Amino acid sequence: MTQTSVKNFSKRLSTRLLALTALWVTFIVMTIGYTMALSWRIEDAARTQTIVGQMPGQIYRMVILVDERYPQVNFEAEMRAFDMSLRIFDFPAAQDFLSINDKDRAGLSRFRLAWLETVKPILYEMRRTQSLDDSPVVESYVRSLMELQTVISDNRAHFLSVQRLLQTLLLTAAVASLLVIMWLLTVWVIRPTERLGEAMKKVMQGELNARVHLSGSAEFEAIGRGFNRMVSRLQDLVENLEAKVKEKTEAVEVQNRNLSQLYEMTTFLGQQHTVDELCEGFTTKLMGYAKNDGCAVYLINRRRKHVELAASADLPSDVFSALSLNPISVDSIESVFKSDMPLRITVDMPADFLPKLRFEGMSGYKTAYVFHIRNGLKDIGFFVLYFKTMEKLPTQSYRLYENFGTHLGVAIDNVRLIERDQQYAVIQERTLMAQGLHDSIAQSLSFLNLQVQLLETGLKNKEQGLVDETVSLIKTGVMECYEDVRELLLNFRERLHKESFAEGIATVIERFEAQTKLKVRLVTRGEGQELTDKQKLQVIFIMQEALANVRKHSKATQVQVDIRNADDFELLVSDNGIGIDENILKARSKRHVGLNIMRERASRIGAIVSVESAEAGPYRSGTTVRLVIPQEAR
């Protein structure tokens, strides 16, 4: 760490406060710890003094117990108690109070030796001989114990005086350190804060030239520099407020104008127009927005791999004719579509840069901007803004015109999709009509053609019987064709827009009964989920086709329609007619228009149609048409 960094580190207020706190805590901990040690020593001294003070009394009790009138057990117990008391001399804590210097500390063992070698044997001897006179040795030992008690008391008093002195010192140091801390906080924190507050009050009163110079700590110096920069910035903002307000107002006006133009353009593009109308209106509005001198919209013709002029404004007539009659190859302007940003073309650029969009013969145009027309990642085309000056558009205009191009691309793509949907709808309608003209009408017309030929033959040969029979058959065939056409017309009605599903089923059955004079038995079961409108319509169409096949081919006398609405929806149309040969059905499955119509309608709603033998229905003979809409398709 360099000297400068060390100096900066030491100037930090946080560093100083941490160091001061650490020093104060260290002093407090050490003082309290030493005081606690003294307290423990004083407690040990009191305990030692108590034990040593009891020893002379124990000696005197043993002298009394020497008399044989007292049991030997009591004498021995007192002996053991004194032995236990002497163990106090073995503890280091007690030795600190029992001796003053190392010599005295070593002399403590004399009390144990004197007891074991002299006093204790004398007491046993006195017990044995019943000598009741006090022994001078015992008296001398008792006096030495009393002297030791005095030493312990003096030492304890010494430690108490040291403890009081230390507590007084601690109290004095606490008061002094508190004063020092208050002074340091005043110098380091309070005074800089007051100066900063005074400067802030001046700024609040409008004195923007007020500055503050804080010293003493790195933090307050940084705060002072930041405050001065803030006030300088505020002074600059106030002094230049009018210019900045004008600048911001102009920017807001530009943004509002751009938003207004974007809203107007998107509103126009959101209306229903053809592609040509979209491009023409787009160029007209651009001429008013960009204040340019010319505009052209080019769209990609992917089939021909050309970019064709779709609309223009204020282009010279010869240039317009040339661009209209000569589409641009996509390969020649590939860089336009590869670029993510709009392209700027000027007269001083190399001639090989987008030559098809250059200015030759374009009445003095000097600058052009090429913007994309896209729908997401799909390129639809591009549009070009031409200027007669060396124009440089701002960034906001770039974004605005690119947004114009995006909205135009979406609108063009939507128009094309709508046109394709309309074409697809027409194709679908034609397909349905073609499917409606199925094999029954074609067979009827073929049959009528054959009967007409027989009628012609009978007339030539003047065979009246053949003529009459042929005319009768022709009348029957024409009537059947009429019924088929009438049924087709009824099938094209979307009755579900006016009738409920049950009413639609009833209407189909009533019409069938009127045509065939057969009574249809309708059985409905289950309370499953209701079908969608699309599913209802297709179910009714399939039932109509199945009943039409019964009328035309089955020769039945009984018909039943069974509707089972559970998890799966099932429709069964059964008859007791002549039935159908499964081999013939398989052979003609691709050419059987009626069955194919039912299957195609079923596929639109995720259903399955099958033609089954009589065993699947309620009759012993005949045919059953089964329609199943599985649960997952509902």
Backbone angles phi, psi at 540, to 5 degrees: -65, -40
Distance, CA of 281 to CA of 290 (rounded, Å): 14
Assess whether 391 and 265 both reside in one domain.
yes
Assigned token pair, 479: 């009537």
Count the neighbouring beta carbons within 10 Å of the beta carbon of residue 511.
Answer: 15
Q: Nearest-CA neighbor of 151 among 91, 100, 106, 87?
A: 100
Assess whether 51 and 171 both reside in one domain.
yes
Q: Nearest-CA neighbor of 540 among 483, 605, 591, 631?
A: 605
pLDDT of 497 reads 45
In sequence order, what are the residues at sequence separation of 6 or more whose Cβ sits closer than 8 angstroms to the Cβ of residue 251?
none
Residue type, 375: N
Between the alpha carbon of residue 59 and those of residues 48, 218, 466, 508, the distances in Å are: 17, 75, 168, 134
Low-confidence ranges of the chain (pLDDT < 50): 1, 6, 100-104, 439, 494-497
Assess whether 25 and 174 both reside in one domain.
yes
Identify the bridge partners of residue 628 per DSSP, sorted by sequence position: 570, 608
Judging by DSSP bridges, how do beta strands 520-525 and 559-565 pair with one another?
Answer: parallel
pLDDT of 60 reads 84
Residue count of the chain, please give it: 634
212: left (phi > 0), else alpha (psi -120 to 50), else beta? beta
Q: Which of 369, 388, 411 is the last residue of a domain?
A: 411
Q: What string of H, E and C letters represents the secondary structure of 247-280?
A: HHHHHHHHHHHHHHHHHHHHHHHHCCCCHHHHHH
Assess whether 44 and 164 both reside in one domain.
yes
Q: Nearest-CA neighbor of 565 among 627, 507, 610?
A: 627
Identify the bridge partners of residue 610 per DSSP, sorted by sequence position: 626
Distance, CA of 633 to CA of 605 (rounded, Å): 7
Instruction: For 490-529, write each residue's pLDDT tens digit.
Output: 555 544 445 678 888 998 898 888 778 899 999 999 888 8
Query: Which residue reads 């009714």 in tokens?
Result: 540
Q: Which helix (H) or strand (E) holds 628?
A: strand 623-629
Say how many CA atoms lie within 13 Å of 14 toward its Cβ: 4
Residue 241 domain-assigned (yes or no): no
Laid out side by side, the sheet with 378-387 consists of 328-329, 306-313, 294-301, 378-387, 367-375, 343-346
What b/e readout covers 417-440, taking b as 16+ CB neighbours within 10 angstroms? Answer: eeeeeeeeeeeeeeebeebbebbb
Q: Which of 393, 411, 429 is the last residue of a domain?
A: 411
**First-last CA distance in the chain:** 78
Prediction pTM value: 0.42
Residue 208 domain-assigned (yes or no): no
Assess whether 185 and 270 both reside in one domain.
no
Distance, CA of 451 to CA of 434 (rounded, Å): 25
pLDDT of 517 reads 85
In sequence order, what are the residues at sequence separation of 6 or more whose Cβ sits closer than 8 angstroms to the Cβ of residue 258?
396, 397, 400
Residue 465 domain-assigned (yes or no): no
Residue 372 domain-assigned (yes or no): yes
Residue type, 468: D
pLDDT of 100 reads 45
Distance, CA of 55 to CA of 48 (rounded, Å): 11
Is 163:35 a contact under the CB 8 Å cutoff? Answer: yes
Assess whether 309 and 160 both reside in one domain.
no
Is 574:622 a contact under the CB 8 Å cutoff? Answer: yes
Q: Nearest-CA neighbor of 40 among 106, 109, 92?
A: 92
Q: Which of 189, 214, 240 is the last residue of a domain?
A: 189
What b/e readout covers 455-484, taking b as 16+ CB neighbours within 10 angstroms? Answer: beebeeeeeeeebeebeebbeebeebbebb
pLDDT of 568 reads 93
Distance, CA of 626 to CA of 504 (rounded, Å): 19
pLDDT of 630 reads 93
Q: What string of H, E and C letters represents the secondary structure of 60-113?
A: HHHHHCCCCCCCHHHHHHHHHHHHHHHHHHHCHHHHHHHCCCHHHHHHCHHHHH
Residue 453 domain-assigned (yes or no): no
pLDDT of 369 reads 86
pLDDT of 572 reads 93
Radius of gyration for the chain, computed over Cα atoms and rounded to the nearest angstrom: 60
Task: Give the domain CATH number at 585.
Answer: 3.30.565.10
Assess whether 395 and 527 both reside in one domain.
no
Is 385:290 a contact under the CB 8 Å cutoff? Answer: yes
Total structural domains within the chain: 3
Task: Give the domain CATH number at 394.
Answer: 3.30.450.40
Tell me the H-state helices in 530-592: 533-549, 582-587
Assess whether 174 and 304 both reside in one domain.
no
Residue 475 domain-assigned (yes or no): no
Assess whether 526 and 383 both reside in one domain.
no
Residue 204 domain-assigned (yes or no): no
State the residue range of the domain holding 626.
498-633
Say how many CA atoms lie within 13 Å of 82 toward its Cβ: 24
Q: How far is CA 296 from the centre of its chain?
A: 44
Beta strands per DSSP E along 456-546: 520-525
Assess whether 182 and 269 both reside in one domain.
no
Angle between helices 120-129 and 13-64 (to 10 degrees): 20
Assess whether 81 and 170 both reside in one domain.
yes
Identify the bridge partners of residue 294 per DSSP, sorted by sequence position: 386
Distance, CA of 458 to CA of 447 (rounded, Å): 16
Residue 248 domain-assigned (yes or no): no
Assess whether 503 and 615 both reside in one domain.
yes
Beta strands per DSSP E along 253-405: 294-301, 306-313, 328-329, 343-346, 367-375, 378-387
